[in-house]
Amino acid sequence: MIKKKKLALILGIVFGFVLLDQLYLHFWLSSNSTNFKRSLDIDDVRQLIQASKDAKVTTILFDPVILEAWHGNSDVAVPGVCIFLCHVIGPLTFAVTSAQLRDKPAFLSRLAQLGFTVTLFSTSDGKRSHVFLFRYGSPLHLTVLDVNSAGYLRQYALTGPPHNMAQVKQYITKDAWDQIKVDRAYERLTTKDVKIDGVELTVPSDIYTFVKDYRDAHFIPCNESRATFYNLKHMKGETPEETRFKHKAWKLLGKAKTILDQLKVPFWLSSGTLLGYYRQCDIISWAMDVDVGIFIEDYTYRLIPEFENRGLRLTHKFGKLSDSLELSFKEEDIKLDIFFFYTEGATMWNGGTQAKTGKKFKYIFPAFTLCWTEFLDLKVRIPCQTEEYIRANYGPAWFTPVRQWDWKSSPPNVIENGEWPEAQWSEVIVVKE
């Protein structure tokens, strides 16, 4: 009798913890939700996965909230109890590649045969972008990933007929809606097979990296229409020297990206390189250098040795870690300037130093966040608030080309910032040219 009571007590405690865990997950997953008509039906998930296997389509669980919750509690499993998938607040997201949808049309047909209402969205040029599957429970969402030639996965923003948009919006949280209403880009990923709530699923191999990548995935394509207009209005012929410079600058930017990516140091296009991207989707042929920005918090002492080991010689080092740090490297005759940015209230700034006098300058920008873009077949970051950044640096006439530019006085956002004490010059003014 006593043993039975103890067993009942233990079972009560176990199921109590399971219940509390489910309640916690429910409130955590639904913190940004609105009122939804239906919850997920686990059989819908099973039917989707079976249809994927039958059609030989790889369907990847692509829902960062569910994956993060499961990854942190993957040891929580109770036979017959749906702990993770069933607590999603509309919809549960999977990913497929555009190539698989194109090459295996029977996949969507099979889903329709299984009783799903298939609502398909496409981009203006006919590329499939999102699929919503309605059956017994809340919808399942297939985000369609385009494998880009530059080596990343592209997700196109959800666009489509207003009535279709209204149909799916009622089942989507505000956060999920915001995520699928913008273009996004992801690094290519590997996958692994796992079992969640008794369902065999394919998930990203490194869930921590995927979740981080997902949060930072906002993509802004270069405006080709603006670039065409600029070229028609302002561009004449390039000299052979200018063409050679652009090619060398592109190679230098690609090498810098490789090094900084390996160091896991986020960087973005800055100054003239950003202006060329935004204005003409190209490198400014007379700029004579490549400019990138890095937040000072991301600086690593491995940076200089890694660049030098790859054949880029350090030519200038101005400032110090706590104030106005700036590095310049050269490959052949092309210079790479790395500006380090500091946060100050609602603004961000980078410094400049005049080598002959020790004078300091500060370039002030409104605070910005980072987004992805593609620039000359390179996946790189830019300030999401690109035009505000450029206007701060080049003024309202940024669209008009200017060939004469003084770094100490031409930018509208530059102010004098004192002088370096002469006793510190050996530390803060290092010139190796």
Supply the DSSP symbol for 156: P
**Dist. CA 255–CA 410, nearest whole Å:** 30
Q: Please indicate, yes or no, whether residues 151 and 248 belong to a single structural domain of this protein.
A: no
pLDDT at residue 405, rounded to an integer = 87
Half-sphere exposure of 250 (CA within 13 A, CB side): 19
Looking only at the bridges linking them, the beta strands covering 289-295 and 334-344 are parallel
319's enclosing H/E stretch is strand 313-320
Residue that is last in its domain, among 194, 215, 236: 215
Q: Please indicate, yes or no, whether residues 200 and 254 belong to a single structural domain of this protein.
A: no
Q: Please indicate, yes or no, whether residues 425 and 374 belong to a single structural domain of this protein.
A: yes
Domain that holds residue 177: 27-215
Amino acid identity at 7: L
**Dist. CA 205–CA 184, nearest whole Å:** 20
**Dist. CA 234–CA 239, nearest whole Å:** 15
Residue that is last in its domain, among 149, 180, 215: 215
pLDDT at residue 166, rounded to an integer = 84
CA trace torsion 326, 330, 331, 334 (10° rounding):
100
pLDDT at residue 34, rounded to an integer = 42
Task: Report residues of the chain scoring pLDDT below 50.
Answer: 1-37
pLDDT at residue 213, rounded to an integer = 92
pLDDT at residue 26, rounded to an integer = 44
Q: Please indicate, yes or no, whether residues 250 and 323 belong to a single structural domain of this protein.
A: yes
Burial of 329 (0-12, 13-18, 19+ CB in 10 A): buried
Would you say residue 113 lies in a domain?
Answer: yes
pLDDT at residue 38, rounded to an integer = 60
Q: Please indicate, yes or no, whether residues 229 and 288 belong to a single structural domain of this protein.
A: yes
CB 116 within 8 A of CB 49: no
Q: Please indicate, yes or no, whether residues 330 and 196 belong to a single structural domain of this protein.
A: no
Largest Cα–Cα separation, the chain: 96
What is the pTM (predicted TM-score) of this model?
A: 0.87
50: domain CATH number?
A: 3.30.460
CB 341 within 8 A of CB 331: no
**Dist. CA 389–CA 157, nearest whole Å:** 24
